[in-house]
Amino acid sequence: MDTIGKYKVIKELGAGGFGAVYLAEAPITNAQVAIKIFQVKDENLAGVATSASQDASGVLKERFLSEARTLEQLSHNPYIVSIRDYDELDDGTPYYVMPYLPTSLEQEIGKDAFTQGKLEETPKSLHPRKLASNRAIEILKQILEGMSEVHRAGLIHRDIKPANILFDAQGNVQICDFGIAKLPDAEHSQSGVGMGSRNYVSPEQRESAKHVSPASDVYSIGVLVYRMLTGQLPLGKFQDAIAYAPEIGEELNVLIDDALSQNEQERPADAGVFLNRFNQAVSGFKENIVKEEGTGTWINEGKTEIKPELKPLKQRIENLLSEQGEIREKDKPGLDALASVIGLNEEALSEFIVQTTAAHAQSSVANAGLLKWVDGINRRATDDNKTPRKNITQEEYDALIEVGISTTGQDKGALERLLKEKGIAAGQERQSAESKTQQAPRPAQDTPQPPQETKMPGGILGAALAGSLAIVLLVGFISYFVGGDQSADPQINKSTPRPSTAVQSLLDSMVTIPGGSFIMGSNDGGSNGKPVHRVSIKPFKLMETEVTWSMYQPCIDDGVCPEAKDEGWGKGNRPVINVRWNDITQKYIPWLNQQTGQTFRLPTEAEWEYAARGGTQTPFNTGNCINIRQANYDGNYDYNNCGAKTGTNLEKTTQVKSYKANPFGLYDMHGNVWEFVQDCWNDSYIGAPGDGSAWMEGDCGQAVLRGGSWGNGPDALRLASRISYFRTNRHDTVGLRLAQDL
């Protein structure tokens, strides 16, 4: 079929026993549309579905026309797909035209693949998963508001399922496919005549399509919300939704249970009744669910008390962190077992570990010191461009232990066990300077020097310990003793250039960000932060500061990077500004890679937000509010009545590390300068990757900027805030931060 009326057909999107849907192009505007056309492919099936002894096709055609007329009447509802046009072909075949909406709920929660065979056949991006409760509740509310009007009009959908919940460009629900275009096939039908999708169809609908009621749709909606909140289907003796999402509250949990009743008389009679009860259920804690930023899963709103069911898991994680300074692979099975008892899946467990680790590091200097001590060793021991010395001299070994005791609160025996587990032992006598020089001659300027400034290695926590002399010593000892002295090896020197002092400071600033998952985006602010969605992040490295002038200027001096203006504010440790995305990716990063023998890149947008949050789920990593003592921004504005308006604006950049770091040890993730990320610009998250990779589709002439700047009010500093910026432009509010793969 090349055309349908005046529309040029591009391809078939789907077909069933009674109709088909095509992607087509409208005349004049060339806008893409979806066209549903009535087609009966099997008269026998038509007869079964209608119980009509004669002219079953005519009965179905009239039902199709009635559906189209009803949908046209409902098109004013913002949550029901609108009809743009209606007509018939020359042979009388009816069709109607809708906007083309390529994104469905199925892409957010994955396919219902719950067997090993199905999982292996399903792309990883479509593996089943649950949504953040706030996103699930938002979708449920919109579905109920749409379906309430459908039921008031006397129409029954018959086929509520993830694939029939579409999203517009703003991330809002668009209910489609009102039960007539498709006859269930073997994949979707249990009875063959029940007209509905197997996993979502009500018990009475399985028996007969003729006796469905609005309560049948209510059941399907109940399955849908259960699937969104739990990542599971309510099969057999299933657990209540509250076991997976405690934050929904008992009243909403009971409502979901009622909707899932096998007896249709016990369900809400229709979507309107469901909606009224829903509004009552969430009214008392709407701020916790509908407006929450991030997951809000672990800590009750406005309290520091951990939810009771999570306490055993939290205690086990904290014990491991106190004993060994990290969570290791061998610990995962035990933690998985504890998590499964309370219904946490792998992604939720990873997220909880990240949050607990960050909180543990902040709870005391000793905890932070141990995490730093272990993290520093790990970073040097896993650096692809360095060969750690597993055997060190007794003097060096003793120094590591001494620094560990002074910074971690651990006794000597505990630290020795940790070093032993890392394969680091005292096994050599210190060489004399003379013999060492004879074996490996080198220029005097290559001799390792003590650290010149108070600096901490990257890791879970930053900053609070930065002034500690013991930490300064720790950096020096870990960098030299564990990292080893490699300049004596001519082969290493030959393949890996020795970077300048300025570039070396960049290398030393890389922080290891632990992997995990988080909820990206926000329901507050503009539509470009929607829909809220879960993203999994692999471990990676990120600079603890923005790239400074001292790190960028050598590229300019070498004639590789174009000149950039500092606006008279000074260079040094201020973030570099007035640089283009294209110059960064095509000139600076290749130059830096050549200088260091390493591979740098811009962070992905998902990596940036994950790292900026540092395990938090509030609008800012400082909490629900932010003030000018916490970031460099325009204090002439307030956020959400926080009372932080001061009228103060520095009107320029500040030196990096002028404000406290976030829980991952990263500075200036709020304010100072906007930061470029890898991704192309998209004006919503519909279709965004869920694996933390860069989204390289969309408007690739524009880059994404994150973090806000000295010239913005606090709203732009929100962790979910994002704007577009042409890759060929530069500005005095825009800079960058670099990342590396592990």
Annotated binding site for ATP: 36
Residue matched to tokens 């009388």:
92
Q: What span, in angstroms and rounded, lies between the C-alpha atoms of 718 and 620? A: 5
Q: What span, in angstroms and rounded, lies between the C-alpha atoms of 348 and 621? A: 20
Whether the CB-CB separation of 58 and 47 falls below 8 Å is answered with no
Whether the CB-CB separation of 120 and 53 falls below 8 Å is answered with no
Whether the CB-CB separation of 513 and 477 falls below 8 Å is answered with no
Strands (E), 682-731: 699-706, 722-726
- Helices 311-324 and 412-421 pack at an angle, to 10 degrees, of 90
Residue matched to tokens 């057999």:
236
Whether the CB-CB separation of 310 and 298 falls below 8 Å is answered with yes
DSSP assignment of 267-317: S-SSHHHHHHHHHHHHHTTHHHHTT-SS---SB-TT--PBPGGGHHHHHHH
Q: What span, in angstroms and rounded, lies between the C-alpha atoms of 57 and 54? A: 9
Q: What span, in angstroms and rounded, lies between the C-alpha atoms of 611 and 614? A: 5
Q: What span, in angstroms and rounded, lies between the C-alpha atoms of 285 and 301? A: 9
**Cα 693 to Cα 606, 688, 713, 740, distances in angstroms:** 7, 9, 29, 13
Annotated binding residues, written as ranges, equal 36
Are β-strands 391-393 and 425-428 bridged in parallel, bridged antiparallel, or unpaired? Answer: parallel
Q: What span, in angstroms and rounded, lies between the C-alpha atoms of 487 and 437? A: 12
Q: What span, in angstroms and rounded, lies between the C-alpha atoms of 187 and 713? A: 52
Catalytic residue, chosen from 2, 42, 91, 159, is 159
Active site annotation includes 177: no
Residues belonging to the active site: 159
